[in-house]
């Protein structure tokens, strides 16, 4: 079992923090399907911005199962330390530091994966945050700033020395963003050099790929990001395959319908009807992305402005769809 501080994770699968995706309703759903740890959406280290509606949603952990993990992002060591302290006071039980996000709006502020190019600053941030709180601090990184500067190994050793208690590594550099294929050689090299738990991340989309990556890298577990969008049961599938070597059957359309309706109801309740309806649209698109001939329905669904109408539309869609022709298992 994987240990992070005093917390023993119940599985080897972790939900990656994703802005605009890993809100409380989605985290709770993934947890129910076997994610051993779920991490909040990225929260800015600038606490002056926390009064915004978006930040309040991101910092809402009401009813969330332990351990509650919060990701913070920024480039100023003192602000990062203060953000960690304040989030711990608000109920965070694990602080995760973002040094993996390649998004332009994050990197232009010298945060996220842009930090990897400045090892001295990385050290200052890690020391400041780990010394500021008495709860576990984890770190998410990429393999380096660019293919020419893969310094992930150096950053990983630095992280362990600074008291980081678990590390997640995405198998691409900052400059790669999400292009090309993730590489796992660097992750394997990092795992050989550190003693803290390591989660491999990047292009892990199936139970078979999860097992292959764990065996190749020696990683303690896997972090799942985009593959969980519209498919929260992927954690259950990976956990079962790692434990038994057997593949679980894909959920039947009735099961998918039930999960989707549950997710929609949670979004409507969490955000309220207006924002809940808008946010539901992208999730429905993800749930239906592997289904055939969904474009007309999705266009019609995205025009709906009422929560109840969204529920009714999904119920009607699944009632009328042909399992073998219109819904890919």
Residues with a catalytic annotation lie at: 101
Burial class (CB in 10 A: 0-12, 13-18, 19+), 248: middle
Facing residues of 329 across strands? none
Residue 89 near residue 80 (C-beta atoms within 8 A): no
Alpha-carbon gap, residue 201 to 226, rounded angstroms: 10
Q: How far from the centroid of its chain's Cα atoms is residue 86's Cα? A: 22
Q: Using the structure block, give the residue that is written with the tokens 């009807």.
A: 273
Residue 89 backbone dihedrals phi, psi, to 5 degrees: -65, -30
The number of beta carbons lying within 10 Å of the beta carbon of residue 154 is: 15
Radius of gyration (Cα) for the chain, nearest Å? 20
b (16+ CB within 10 A) / e for 62-100: eebeebbbbbbbbbbbebbbbbbbbbbeeebbbbbbbbb
Q: Using the structure block, give the residue that is written with the tokens 């049961």.
A: 233
Alpha-carbon gap, residue 185 to 189, rounded angstroms: 6
Residue 114 near residue 121 (C-beta atoms within 8 A): no
């Amino acid at each position: 079992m994987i240990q992070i501080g005093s917390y023993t994770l119940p599985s080897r699968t972790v939900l990656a923090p994703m802005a605009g995706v890993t809100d409380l309703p989605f985290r709770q759903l993934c947890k129910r399907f076997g994610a051993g740890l779920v991490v909040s959406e990225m929260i800015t280290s600038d606490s002056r911005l926390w009064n915004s509606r978006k930040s309040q949603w991101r910092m809402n952990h009401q009813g969330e199962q332990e351990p509650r993990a919060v990701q913070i992002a920024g480039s100023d060591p003192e602000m990062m330390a203060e953000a960690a302290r304040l989030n711990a006071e608000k109920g965070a039980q694990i602080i995760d530091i973002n040094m993996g996000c390649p998004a332009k709006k994050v990197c232009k502020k010298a945060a996220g994966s842009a930090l990897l190019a400045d090892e001295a600053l990385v050290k200052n941030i890690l020391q400041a945050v780990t010394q500021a709180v008495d709860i576990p601090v984890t770190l998410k990184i990429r393999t380096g700033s660019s293919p020419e500067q893969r310094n992930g190994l150096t950053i990983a050793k630095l992280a362990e020395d600074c008291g980081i208690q678990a590390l997640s590594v995405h198998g691409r550099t900052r400059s790669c963003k999400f292009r090309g294929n993730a590489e796992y050689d660097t992750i394997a090299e990092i795992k050989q050099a550190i003693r803290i738990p390591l989660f491999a991340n990047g292009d892990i989309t199936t139970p078979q790929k999860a097992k292959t990556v764990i065996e190749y890298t020696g990683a303690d577990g896997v972090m799942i990001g985009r593959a969980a969008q519209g498919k929260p049961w992927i954690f259950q599938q990976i956990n079962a395959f790692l434990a038994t070597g057997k593949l679980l059957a894909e959920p039947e359309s009735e099961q998918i319908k039930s999960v989707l309706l549950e997710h929609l109801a949670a979004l409507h309740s969490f955000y309220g009807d207006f924002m809940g309806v808008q946010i539901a649209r992208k999730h429905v698109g993800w749930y239906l992305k592997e289904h055939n001939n969904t474009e007309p329905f999705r266009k019609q669904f995205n025009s709906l402005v009422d929560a109840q109408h969204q529920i009714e539309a999904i119920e009607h869609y699944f009632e009328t769809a042909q399992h073998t022709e219109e819904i890919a298992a």
